[in-house]
Structures are given as structure tokens and as C-alpha cells.
Chains A and B, each alone.
Chain A
Amino acid sequence: MIKIVKRPEPSSLAALMAPIIAIGITLIGCALLFLLLGKDPFTSVKALFWDPLFDPQIASFSRPQLLVKAAPIILIALGLSVGFQAGIWNIGAEGQYITGAIAATAVGLAFWGSDSIWVFPIMGLAGVLGGVAYAMVPAILRVQFGANEILVSLMLVYVAINLLAAMVTGPMKNPLAFGFPETRSFRDFPAAYNTEILDNSGLHYGVIATLLIVAIAYIVQTRHLFGFQVRVMGLAPKAARLSGVIPERMVVICFAISGGLAGLAGFFEVTGPAGKLTTEFGSGYGFTAIIVAFLGRLNPLGIVLAGLVLALTIIGGEIAQLTLNIPAAAVLVIQGMVLFFLLAADLFVRYRIKLSSKVAA
């Protein structure tokens, strides 16, 4: 008989090792997956995880991409991790990322041609507010009517995708784009362009802002009353209430933080790497960030590492599509495996399998 029994005291080392073990098993899973696809497992895994960093030809292009992809994922994951610690589940960061980008773009287009240094910060503020406003929908529905925030926030992602399509084919369409569904490119608007600070480094203002927010998040989590209250709320909601936390207010604040950071990520993306809004702007960063938040143990420093790993799977996946003809969906399968194996590893940190030969008398 197989039984799952609770460990008396889970070791904290095992809890830290779980993500690493999960990534290790994912690599094995990848190799098996590619074997089934008829590819050489070793070269495939190498193409995914090694070549983007160290292949002399590919790395010069893909290494800067690592920062470009990782920054928005990390930024969104940081915001999500606050709510996740408190047991408040914002699954709709992808939607808030899109609405943030739309709001920032709207402001940018309104100031088109200005050379004021204020254009860029005001767009950033608009991006944050766009994300916050969109996140308030599930937050307020939960607080006022007890609606499940997981479902509402997730469904609003699809509303945001359609809103984006309406914007780029309608009011925000570039008049010179010959009917293509896209906005003007911020590359043609220097005051609004999130430029690469060092050539070929991938370093843009969004990366710097992300690092700054990582530091702030770390301090708030370990040293500030708010971070403490968030953890208490997640572990024991009644104790949080007794210590003076107002749960409804906490829901709103957590959604505001996660929505705001997702909107900020959208702003940096649309003004920099993407350059403009298209129907394809939503690239799944908001969903990948959920995996990153958990893989990083909801800890800001862990999220940075996890964000880099997941960004690597995205870049490696793109390269492997080109060089080895691997289907694009493989990347999603790999990301799914990471989360799946992480949850499994977490289970075994707290529980163990007990094989007993004894049968109940």
C-alpha cells in the first residue's frame, strides 16, 4: 500500500532545493520530449539552454535578449508574489500588462512630437495607472460581492486582448501603416523611446527600474510591517485581522501593486523592445510570471533567478524553433513542466511516501 504521510519537520534546505530539483527533472523531461519528437535529445537540450548563453554565434544576439525578456517577467512576478503570499490570487497580470501598455501608448500618442523630458515619466505613470485600474475590477468585485478573483482576473485577460485589438485597428491605428493593425512606433519619437542604454547589452530603463524594485520589494518583505502583514494574512487570516489588518483593504492593495507593476512592465515593453502596439503585443509574460513567482519561492531574489531561467526557455525555444525545427508549443510544455515538477517537489518537501506491507486487519 502506498501512503503519503506528513514529515514531522520539513527541512528548510529541501525547500530551497526544490526549485533546483524541479529544473533538473524538467531538463530530463525535455530530453524525453525531444526524443519522442525524433530529435537528438542532447543537442536539443543544448540548443535550448546552453547555446543562447555560450554558443559563439548565437550568444552575441541572444544574451542581451535575456535581460530584455527577463525584466518584464520579473517585474510582473514581483507584484504577483505580494498577493500570492497573502492568499490573494491575481491570475490576470497579462491583461493588466496590456491595459498598462495601452494607457501609456495613448498618452505617448497624445504628446506625439513633443521633446519635453516629462513625456516619458508621464507615460510611465499612465502605464501604472492603466494596470491598477484594470486590476481594480476583480479586486472590487471580490470585496463587494465575494466574486472569485481568480476567475474574474483570468477572464479579464481575454477582454484586454480584444480591447487591444480594437485599439490598434481603431482609434490608435497608425495612419501611415497601410492598414496594418498597429500604432505608430516609438522609435520615431525619441522623447518617448525606452532606448538601449549600452549598445548590444539589452539594458534599458525597464531593467534598471526592475532592479530597483527588486531591492525595494526585498526590504519591504523582510523589514517592513506591510511585508509582515502580507505573510500573516496568507498563513493565518484571522490572526492578521486580530493584529489590525483589514482584509478587504489588503485585497485592494495587493491587486493595486500587482496590477501597477504589470502596467509598468507593459509601458517599458511598448516603448522599448516592442516599440509599438500590435495585436500580438500580449506575449504571455503575465502568465509566465505566475510560474516565476512560485519558482522563485515568492522571494524577490529568487524571482530574479527564476525570471532569468524562464526567459532562457523562451529564447532557447525561439532558437530551437529555427535551428532544430522544434514546434513553438514546446516552450509552453517546458514551462508547464517546470511548474508541475516544482509543485511535486514542494509536496515531497512536506510529505513523504510511505510503503507499508501491513494491510489493515
Chain B
Amino acid sequence: MTPTLSLKELTKAYPGVVACEAISLDLMPGEIHAVLGENGAGKSTLMKMIYGLVQSDQGAMTLNGTAFAPASPKSARSSGISMVFQHFSLFEAMSVAENIALGLDKAMSIGDLVPLIRNVSEAYGLEIKPEQRIAALSAGARQRVEIIRCLLQSPNILILDEPTSVLAPQEVDRLFTILRQLRDEGKSILYISHKLEEIRTLCDRATILRGGKVVDRVTPKNQSAAALAEMMIGARHSSAKRGQAQYGKVLLKVQNLSYKPSDPSEIGLSNVSFSVRAGEILGVAGIAGNGQDMLFSALSGEVRSTSRSIMFNGDPIGQSGVRGRRKAGILAAAEERLGHAAVPDMSLTENAELTKNRSRGRGFLNWSMARGFAKEIIETFRVATPSERTAASALSGGNLQKFVIGRELQQNPTLFVVNQPTWGVDAAAAASIRSAILRLAASGNAVVAISQDLDELFEIADRIAVLAQGQISAPMDAAQATPAKIGILMAGQAA
């Protein structure tokens, strides 16, 4: 059988780094083929070459046996290749049909499009109505809109980039059903992920990338998750383990915290209450966009609330700002690495200074101390960077994440608030971040970890609460929580 798409020795280099080196891969009709690798392994670059976003330096591709070199995504699409990106490009205020019309290469009237959308939606059980507004849809439904947009181009090859990162467990199962149906129709699917269990359940074959090279080709069903992880990372990493926790007194008490956002399409917080003890990690599960960012800002002090709605160590701190809270020992690490947790165009030294506590010097900065602090973070958290003078934007996601988390942990927070601690980070970096958070809690400090990654919360949290539609569920012991229980809460059916 001829492969649908065949890559031969594709190489792409950027100044200072070879992103892909002589990568070969055969994608057969009717298979789901995983491309597995850490962040920075070259997965994205490879997909961009196939989708025509970048052109390879060396090597060649053939599509159904004939030479293929797409100059743009448009020409890739016209050759039957479609891609569902990790981040959706949908306009919230517009309907499904309008959004799809905007993304088509050929102009089509909404009236002609509506029946087509209905047909595709029914054929694959997608349950999307053309007239629905995007703002009203869940992340899973939005993804299905993107899939419809792709399917309308009747592609032979579908590329999915980290498709489950924003989905609740039930929605993941649903996505898999759709993908299996497409495979059975003879379509080829390239599935990019670093989630090992998913790949073992779903994919027929896997190509494993490390450092821009193919390190192995396996049938994932025959491999254990640990074996796959080892191929992906190169060395066995021990997953963080929770010791027997000793809890102290209640450090943080949040009571009836409410916030109404100025933008009505955003979700605020309504009557959020919970408490965290010393030595405890509270996991806040839920899909981003359900008030996660608001909860983070309310705890970090970026947004103020009524004085007694947040009590820390018995003191009302709702009205104190970021600096007051940092002095009291509440440090926060934001989700968005570039632009919120760090300034992209500033050096690591300057970024180390960004949230450093200052007590002396009348506001004069001591750059040599800041440099020392940056070096300390780089060393302690094994941040791979040429030097502390490197700009934050030049670091890979995982390394920058280690740096921004390390910056706060190095200052020994009494309460550490972190939003998506390992979002988009490779497995090795994620493991080291998680064990650092566990160590912090083990030394008697409190942690609030907001995360969409359930596996992560099961690994580190003592108790798990779910934030859905701006409301928080009663925290349950992590030992008693199951993905199914949490999934129901995440979907917002009960609070």
C-alpha cells in the first residue's frame, strides 16, 4: 500500500538550533499516527512543514506518490491536508456558520453552508448547530466546530495538535470516537501529543521525536506508558510522589469571594469559599475560562476584593495589593508565561527582579544581586539557558516555566498560588516542577494549584475542588476523587 503522505529526511534549521533533523515518516491510509515528543522536540516544526507554514531546508515529501511541497497553508489545504490547532481561532460573538464561512478558502454563502454543516455534524455525531453562538459553547464543542471546518474541505489527512489539552475527560472520549470513525473511513490522522495514556488508547503507530530526531517507531499499544516516556525523554524520570502529609493550622480562608467581570462574556466568581491548611496542596480543577484567571488574580492581589473575603493567617487581606501580599508571604505564578509571568523582551536577570521582594535600598535596584538571584534560580531549577542575560522569549516553554516557578519558590512562599503549573511543558520539566511544589508543601507551606490537567492534580493535590461557571465545589480528598466524579463537576452539571 502506498502511504498517503511520506516524509523523507526532512530537515529544518533555525539560527542556533536544528528543529528537525532528517525526519522520515510514512502516514498510511486509515491510521491514527502519533507524533510523540517533549516540547522542543520538533513536533510543531514538523507539522508546520507539512501544513505549508514553513518550508524545509532539505528533504522531500510525497503525497499519494507524487512530490509535494506546499508553499502556504492554503495550498496544503487544497491538497487535502487540514489542521486543528491547539488554540482555536473562533470569534466568540459570531455563530458557528459565520465562523466556518470565514475560514473557508472558497467564498460560500451562509445559506449554502448551513445544510453542509448539519450533514457533517450528523454524520459524525458532533452535535453542533450552525446557528449557535461560539460564546455559548464549551471547549469541546468549540473544538468540534474546528473539526467541522476541517471536514468541510474533505481532507485525506487531518492533523491535530495537542487536541485534548482543553477538554474534560468525557469530551476526550467523545473526540476519540469521532477520530476512530474518521480513521475507519480511510482517512489518515496525525496526532500530536505528549500524553502517553491517550496515545496508547487511540493511536495505531507512533513516531517518537527527541531533540529534533526520530528516536523510535513503535506500536503504542504494545508499550507501557513508562517505556514510552523513557523513549521520549531519554532517561527514566521518577514521577513525584506524595509523602504522608502533616497539616497545620488554616493559612488561607476564602469566604464568599465574588467578582463580576467588566466584560459580560467573561465568567467571574460567585460566592467562592474554601480554605487551605499549612502543608496542604489544594488542587482547583476545571476547564480554563471558568473563572480560573479571576481566582488567580483575586489571590495574587492583582484584583482586590472585599476585605474579609480573603483571610490569610487570620488577617483580612482582600483589600491589600500585590506588594502587600508578597510581603505577607503570598507569592503567585501566573499561567501565561510570556507577558504575565515574565516580560518576553527582558533578560532573565530583569525577570528575576520582576517579582523579587525588596526591603532595603529606597527603591534603588541592585543589579548584581538580581544577577546572583537569577543564577541561583537557573542552577537550582536546572533551567537550560545560555546565560542569565538571555531574553525570556528565547527560552523554551518548559525552561521558562521552570524559571518563573523557581523564582517564586526560591523566595519561600508561605502560600504559593499557581495557575496551570505545567501547561505546555515537557514531561521532564513537569516532573521537576511538581516535585518542587510537593517539597514546598512538605516543609509546612500551603499551595493553591489551579490546573486543567487532572493527572497532575491527582499526583500532587491533597484535596481537589472544581471551579466551573465561576462556582467552586466542596473540596474532596484526592484519594477519593476519580476522573469521572470530577468530570461531572467540570461540565458544570452540579456545583
Contact of B363 among A225, A231, A359, A361 (CB under 8 A): A225
Q: How many of B's residues come within 8 Å of A, CB to CB?
A: 36
Determine if B321 and A239 form an interchain contact, defined as CB atoms under 8 angstroms apart: no
- Complex formed: what's the CA distance from A238 to B419 in Å? 15
A contact residues around B334 at 8 Å (CB): 238, 242
Q: Name the interface residues of A1-52: CB closer than 8 Å to any CB of B.
A: 8-9
Determine if A239 and B339 form an interchain contact, defined as CB atoms under 8 angstroms apart: yes
A contact residues around B323 at 8 Å (CB): 244
Nearest Cβ distance between residue B78 and chain A, in whole angstroms? 9
Determine if A228 and B350 form an interchain contact, defined as CB atoms under 8 angstroms apart: yes
Nearest Cβ distance between residue A287 and chain B, in whole angstroms? 29
**A-facing mask of B328-343, CB < 8 A → 1, else 0?**
0000101010111111
Determine if A235 and B344 form an interchain contact, defined as CB atoms under 8 angstroms apart: yes
- Complex formed: what's the CA distance from A238 to B70 in Å? 38
Determine if A223 and B339 form an interchain contact, defined as CB atoms under 8 angstroms apart: no
Determine if B15 and A9 form an interchain contact, defined as CB atoms under 8 angstroms apart: yes
- Complex formed: what's the CA distance from A246 to B363 in Å? 16
A contact residues around B75 at 8 Å (CB): 360-361
Confirm or deny: A114 has a beta carbon within 8 angstroms of a beta carbon on chain B: no
B contact residues around A225 at 8 Å (CB): 358, 363-365
**B-facing mask of A317-361, CB < 8 A → 1, else 0?**
000000000000000000000000000000000000000001111
Confirm or deny: B98 has a beta carbon within 8 angstroms of a beta carbon on chain A: no
Determine if A242 and B14 form an interchain contact, defined as CB atoms under 8 angstroms apart: no
B contact residues around A150 at 8 Å (CB): none
Determine if B74 and A244 form an interchain contact, defined as CB atoms under 8 angstroms apart: no
A contact residues around B339 at 8 Å (CB): 236, 238-239
- Complex formed: what's the CA distance from A242 to B301 in Å? 8
A contact residues around B14 at 8 Å (CB): 8
Determine if B344 and A223 form an interchain contact, defined as CB atoms under 8 angstroms apart: no
- Complex formed: what's the CA distance from A226 to B365 in Å? 9
- Residue with the greatest number of chain B CB neighbours at <10 A, chosen from A8, A242, A361: A242
Nearest Cβ distance between residue B116 and chain A, in whole angstroms? 26
Determine if A236 and B340 form an interchain contact, defined as CB atoms under 8 angstroms apart: yes
- Complex formed: what's the CA distance from A84 to B355 in Å? 23
Contact of B322 among A224, A231, A244 (CB under 8 A): A244
Contact of A241 among B71, B322, B338, B346 (CB under 8 A): B322
**A-facing mask of B303-339, CB < 8 A → 1, else 0?**
0000000000000000001110010000010101011
B contact residues around A8 at 8 Å (CB): 14-15
Determine if B74 and A360 form an interchain contact, defined as CB atoms under 8 angstroms apart: yes
Nearest Cβ distance between residue B335 and chain A, in whole angstroms? 11
Determine if A232 and B343 form an interchain contact, defined as CB atoms under 8 angstroms apart: yes
Confirm or deny: A243 has a beta carbon within 8 angstroms of a beta carbon on chain B: yes
Confirm or deny: B456 has a beta carbon within 8 angstroms of a beta carbon on chain A: no
- Complex formed: what's the CA distance from A360 to B344 in Å? 33
Determine if A242 and B363 form an interchain contact, defined as CB atoms under 8 angstroms apart: no
Determine if B341 and A239 form an interchain contact, defined as CB atoms under 8 angstroms apart: yes
B contact residues around A241 at 8 Å (CB): 302, 322
B contact residues around A244 at 8 Å (CB): 301, 321-323, 326, 355
- Residue with the greatest number of chain B CB neighbours at <10 A, chosen from A231, A236, A358, A361: A236
Nearest Cβ distance between residue A256 and chain B, in whole angstroms? 17
Which of the four size classes fits the interface of chain A? 20 to 34
Determine if B302 and A242 form an interchain contact, defined as CB atoms under 8 angstroms apart: yes
A contact residues around B342 at 8 Å (CB): 236, 239
- Complex formed: what's the CA distance from A244 to B336 in Å? 17
Confirm or deny: B353 has a beta carbon within 8 angstroms of a beta carbon on chain A: yes
Contact of B343 among A223, A239, A358 (CB under 8 A): A239
B contact residues around A239 at 8 Å (CB): 339-343, 354
- Complex formed: what's the CA distance from A80 to B332 in Å? 33
Q: Name the interface residues of B363-386: CB closer than 8 Å to any CB of A.
A: 363-365, 367
B contact residues around A236 at 8 Å (CB): 338-340, 342-344
B contact residues around A232 at 8 Å (CB): 343, 346, 354
Confirm or deny: B72 has a beta carbon within 8 angstroms of a beta carbon on chain A: yes
Confirm or deny: B345 has a beta carbon within 8 angstroms of a beta carbon on chain A: yes
**A-facing mask of B1-33, CB < 8 A → 1, else 0?**
000000000000011000000000000000000
A contact residues around B350 at 8 Å (CB): 228
B contact residues around A226 at 8 Å (CB): 363
Contact of A224 among B71, B344, B365 (CB under 8 A): B365
Nearest Cβ distance between residue A15 and chain B, in whole angstroms? 12
- Complex formed: what's the CA distance from A228 to B358 in Å? 14
B contact residues around A242 at 8 Å (CB): 300, 302, 322, 332, 334, 340-341, 354-355
Q: Name the interface residues of B36-72: CB closer than 8 Å to any CB of A.
A: 69-72
Complex: chain B residue closest to A232, CB-CB:
B343
Determine if A361 and B332 form an interchain contact, defined as CB atoms under 8 angstroms apart: no
- Complex formed: what's the CA distance from A223 to B353 in Å? 12
**B-facing mask of A218-251, CB < 8 A → 1, else 0?**
0000011110100110011011011110100000
Nearest Cβ distance between residue B305 and chain A, in whole angstroms? 15
Determine if A360 and B71 form an interchain contact, defined as CB atoms under 8 angstroms apart: yes
Contact of B365 among A9, A228, A243 (CB under 8 A): A228
Determine if B341 and A235 form an interchain contact, defined as CB atoms under 8 angstroms apart: no
- Complex formed: what's the CA distance from A242 to B358 in Å? 15
Nearest Cβ distance between residue A182 and chain B, in whole angstroms? 45
B contact residues around A359 at 8 Å (CB): 71
- Complex formed: what's the CA distance from A42 to B74 in Å? 53
Nearest Cβ distance between residue A7 and chain B, in whole angstroms? 9
A contact residues around B345 at 8 Å (CB): 235
Complex: chain B residue closest to A358, CB-CB:
B71
A contact residues around B322 at 8 Å (CB): 241-244
A contact residues around B355 at 8 Å (CB): 242-244
- Complex formed: what's the CA distance from A240 to B363 in Å? 16
Question: Known: A236-B340, A241-B322. Is A228-B353 also a contact (CB below 8 A)?
Answer: yes
Determine if A223 and B364 form an interchain contact, defined as CB atoms under 8 angstroms apart: yes
Nearest Cβ distance between residue A267 and chain B, in whole angstroms? 28
Nearest Cβ distance between residue A226 and chain B, in whole angstroms? 6
- Complex formed: what's the CA distance from A222 to B206 in Å? 52
- Complex formed: what's the CA distance from A187 to B365 in Å? 45
Where the two chains meet, the residues of B that have a C-beta atom closer than 8 Å to any C-beta of A are 14-15, 69-72, 74-75, 300-302, 321-323, 326, 332, 334, 336, 338-346, 350, 353-355, 358, 363-365, 367
Q: List 20 A-B contacts (CB under 8 A).
A: A223-B367, A224-B363, A225-B363, A228-B350, A232-B343, A232-B354, A235-B345, A238-B334, A239-B339, A239-B341, A239-B343, A241-B322, A242-B302, A242-B332, A242-B354, A244-B323, A246-B321, A359-B71, A360-B72, A361-B75
Q: A225-B365, A236-B344, A243-B354 are in contact. List 18 more A-B contacts (CB 8 A).
A: A8-B14, A224-B364, A225-B358, A226-B363, A228-B365, A236-B338, A236-B339, A239-B339, A239-B340, A241-B302, A242-B302, A242-B354, A243-B322, A358-B71, A360-B71, A360-B72, A360-B74, A361-B71
Q: Which 6 A-B pairs have the closest CB atoms?
A: A244-B323, A244-B322, A225-B363, A238-B340, A236-B343, A8-B15
